[in-house]
A and B are shown apart, each in its own frame.
Chain A
Amino acid sequence: MNFDFSEDQKLLQKTARDFLAEHSPLTVCREILESDQPYSQALFKATAEMGFQGTVIPEEYGGAGFGHLELAVVAEELGRAVAPVPFSSSVYLATEAILLAGSDEQKQQYLPKLASGEAVGTLAVVEKPGQNGTEGIEAAFKDGKLSGTKLPVPDGDVADFAIVAAGAKDGLALVIVDLDADGVKREAVGSFDPSRSLAQIEFTDAPASLLGDVGAAEAILDKVFDRAAVLIGFEQLGGAERAFEITKEFMQGRYAFGRPIASFQALKHRLADLWCEIQLTRSNCYYGAWALSNDDDELGIAACISRIAACKAYDLAGVEMIQLHGGVGYTWEYDCHLFYRRAKFLSVVIGSPASWKHKLVSRLQAQNAA
């Protein structure tokens, strides 16, 4: 039994952690959260120079040619840093979609720029409140042109291109659109977590080209979302663990009634419970990473349990972090709300936990029927 990362992967993780401790302390997240800047361009450039964006992009396209286990440990560190960059959109969504479904020409066109950080990509699927996936899409692709509105699109305001889900004559299609071209009107929308941006994008006969075959969109998207679920799961794991550590340290230094509040049993038990949730998440995410790196048939189920566990743990960490800090936890000045916001943002950005729970049960039923 070797249910662990290798020594090399752990070394990469340490390198990423040290790098982000220097280039993405929480002050950087806060800076983006408080300003009009949609993300930290300096940080995004720096992570690209480290090779992070290109972790799983083959070397022939300028990437590092590593696997998803390497990307998972990088993701965990980005999550721990609450890094304010469009990494998840560009890497876990756009890059994965092109790797999965792109033609050689499309790979040649986009992957090198994604690897170098020169281009930011994203995925645009939902259109109205309540939606989590491809149900009810009204955007349409016809004769090489895309029309419709997508809202909200993660990093849609800063992305150079988007992969968009739209209806075509014979089924759902995925198309790639240059977001600086004619026929694209976009504006940032307010984000619950201002350290991550969201946009509304209106397409009016915008030129677009197919990614993969018409009718294959659902299968491609399923796969992309599964991969993203695991990778975002690692970000949530990192964030939850950091929130937990900060909270524990605070409680050890904060005195009330003559002793550290960390010595009160009721609070100790809550920290113990939070620790358990984080450990369970780590275990489920490791399984997700294994399934992802082996492209195993189990990925469909592994992705669901990674995401469901990670959403629960990070949400709980965010809630408990504020509560266990007492009054100061509720202030803008303290860092608690950075985690609180990011946790909830990540809990919905690729579909709510409820939607993933339904997906899990459907997949379990399909597995039983097989």
Chain B
Amino acid sequence: MDFNDTPEEAAFRDEARSWLEANSKLKDPDDPGEDLLGERSSPEVIQAAQGWQKQKADAGWACITWPKEYGGREATAIQSVIWGQEEGKFQTPPNVFGIGLGMCGPTILTHGTEEQKQRWIPELLSGEKIWCQLFSEPAAGSDLAGLRTTAVKDGDDWVVNGQKIWTTGAHFCEWGILVVRTDANVAKHAGLSYFVVDMQAPGVEIRPIVQINGGKGFNEVFFTDVRIPDANRLSEVGNGWAVAITTLMNERASIGGGGAGGGVSDLLEMAEETELEGRPAIEDSAVREKIADLYTRSRGVQYTGYRTLTALSRGTTPGPESSLGKLVGGALAQDMAAFGIELAGVTGATLDDGITPNDSLWQEMYLSIPGLRIAGGTDEVLRNIIAERVLGLPPETRADKGIAFKDIPTAPAN
């Protein structure tokens, strides 16, 4: 049992690090890091992000697990992790390609025709085009298959009407992957199709949504008679759900990297520096026990990640324990943020640069984390997935199974 790279992994890591050292600088250890759900759409940021992506692409360090013919290097999963670990240590522009490279690209590589792959993959990989994902709708989040945006065939085009929501980055993306309903007369999963949409097409209207932390990372996207060429359809008409599953599997495949903001060591430091009942908070029993609990849980999540890395290093599929990172991590981060706010006593209520301890880290974290517990699979859906797919427990009776989509209830009957 050890934490070392294999000789091959170590060699790969050296190669990655050498290139990064030559092309960037190590991060400042006190750097708080990215604001996870915040806004990153300023033109300067996007330009910088695209510049870095192109630099990587030109050197063969972009999308390293993708096929060589499209610019990847067919790296293994563990190599991808190693690259991510090394890149994370260096100063780089914020990542605006998470969705495009993490979800859109893999979906096209799996379901696209050769012509479609040639058309879209190279410019995705190089960062020349930025992509978004148009799945969720006001009436279809956890119940994604209940989506209502329609596409109707008209000549060689499909005409799309409807609305998507929570579309991260729509306001600066050129392309989007889109799931729509093409048949309302069959069961909900069976009537879906999958397209690639030009975000600048006539009829596409993007409106920002403001988050509770003031960020505007995501949007509503309205489609009014938007025409999409049939050549932009991925897979068969009516097979959209299967393609969407590929996308969602890739969404969940990313291994939890790093903490969402502050860590327990920051809380420990804060407890040493603030007072509770007239003496350092760190001397208080309740504070000590809380810190111990948070520390233990954080380590548990970290070491569970190590078990996943072990499987990847061996070239085997990670076990079911890989499912728990987001579920445990989200609530844990929220708990830590709440505790950090309360350690400051009444001052915890401030959110002011010169006054709030820890540069308002806990306050901002507390405002950002609720999104993580909902996006990419809510805590509740993740529990369902663990219960049904990992533990094999029987599914809930579903009220919309086997019914034509058009007959499914969507509101109280009046």
Q: Which residues of A are at the interface with B, using a C-beta cutoff of 8 A?
A: 1-6, 69, 248, 251-252, 259-260, 262-265, 268-269, 271-273, 275-276, 279-284, 286-287, 289-290, 293, 304-305, 308-309, 354, 356-358, 360-361, 364-365, 368
Q: Give, as a whole number of angstroms, the nearest-CB distance from A260 to chain B.
A: 5
A-B contact count (CB 8 A): 153
Can you name 14 A-B pairs with beta carbons within 8 Å?
A: A1-B78, A1-B312, A2-B3, A2-B4, A4-B1, A251-B393, A260-B394, A262-B393, A263-B393, A269-B387, A272-B382, A280-B300, A280-B328, A308-B293
Task: Indicate if the CB atoms of B292 and A276 lie closer than 8 Å.
Answer: no
Inter-chain contacts of A361 with B (CB < 8 A): 268, 282, 288, 291-292
The answer to whether B303 touches A3, judged by C-beta atoms less than 8 angstroms apart, is yes
Bound-state Cα–Cα, A351 to B105, Å = 53
Q: Which of B2, B324, B380, B397 contacts A2 (CB 8 A)?
A: B2
A364 touches B295 (CB 8 A): yes
List the B residue with the shortest CB-CB distance to A1.
B309
CA–CA, A305 to B396, complex, Å?
36
A160 → chain B closest CB, angstroms: 34
Question: Considering the chains assembled together, what is the distance between the CA atoms of A334 and B289 in angstroms?
Answer: 34
A265 & B384 in contact (Cβ 8 Å cutoff): yes
B388 CB–A CB distance under 8 Å: yes
Q: Which of A268, A276, A279, A287 is in CB contact (< 8 Å) with B388?
A: A268
Residues of B within 8 A of A273 (CB): 383
Once the chains are docked, how many angstroms separate the CA of A326 from the CA of B310? 39
Q: How far is the CA of A3 from the CA of B319 in the complex (A)?
A: 13
On chain B, the residues within 8 Å of A282 by CB distance are: 304, 307, 321
Measured CA separation A250–B153 after assembly (Å): 52
Contacts of A269 in B (CB 8 A): 380, 383-384, 387
In the bound complex, CA of A340 to CA of B382 (Å): 28
Which residue of the partner chain, among A259, A275, A356, A368, contacts B391 with CB atoms under 8 Å? A275
Question: How distant is the Cα of A354 from the Cα of B288 in the complex, in angstroms?
Answer: 9
| A365 to B295 CA separation, bound complex (whole angstroms) | 13
Closest residue of chain B to A72 (Cβ to Cβ) is: B1
B residues touching A (Cβ–Cβ < 8 Å)? Answer: 1-5, 78, 265, 268-269, 272, 282, 285, 288-289, 291-293, 295-297, 299-304, 306-307, 309-310, 312-313, 321, 324, 327-328, 380, 382-384, 386-388, 390-391, 393-397
B396 near A357 with CB under 8 A, answer no
Task: For the complex, give the distance between the alpha carbons of A78 and B387 in Å.
Answer: 27
Interface pair A305/B285, CB less than 8 Å apart: no
Selected contact of A305 from candidates B299, B388, B395, CB within 8 Å: B299
Contacts of B302 in A (CB 8 A): 283
Knowing A357-B288, A358-B289, the reply to whether A305 touches B296 (Cβ < 8 A) is: yes
Shortest Cβ distance from residue A77 to the other chain B in the assembled complex, whole angstroms? 18
What residues of chain B lie closer than 8 Å to A280, measured between beta carbons? Answer: 297, 300-301, 304, 324, 328
Across the interface, do A289 and B306 meet the contact criterion of CB distance under 8 Å?
A: no
CB distance from B79 to the nearest CB of A (A): 12
Q: Is the CB of B383 within 8 A of A360?
A: no
Please name the residue on chain A nearest to B395 by beta carbon.
A263
Instruction: Tell me, in angstroms, the Cα distance from A287 to B388 when the chains sit together.
Output: 29
A283 engages B288 (CB within 8 Å)? no
Residues on B with beta carbons closer than 8 Å to the beta carbon of A289:
1
Cβ contacts under 8 Å, A265 to chain B: 384, 396
In the complex, are the beta carbons of A287 and B303 less than 8 A apart? yes
Q: Are A276 and B324 in contact (CB under 8 A)?
A: yes
Contacts of A4 in B (CB 8 A): 1, 307, 310
Residue contact A275 to B394, C-beta cutoff 8 Å: no
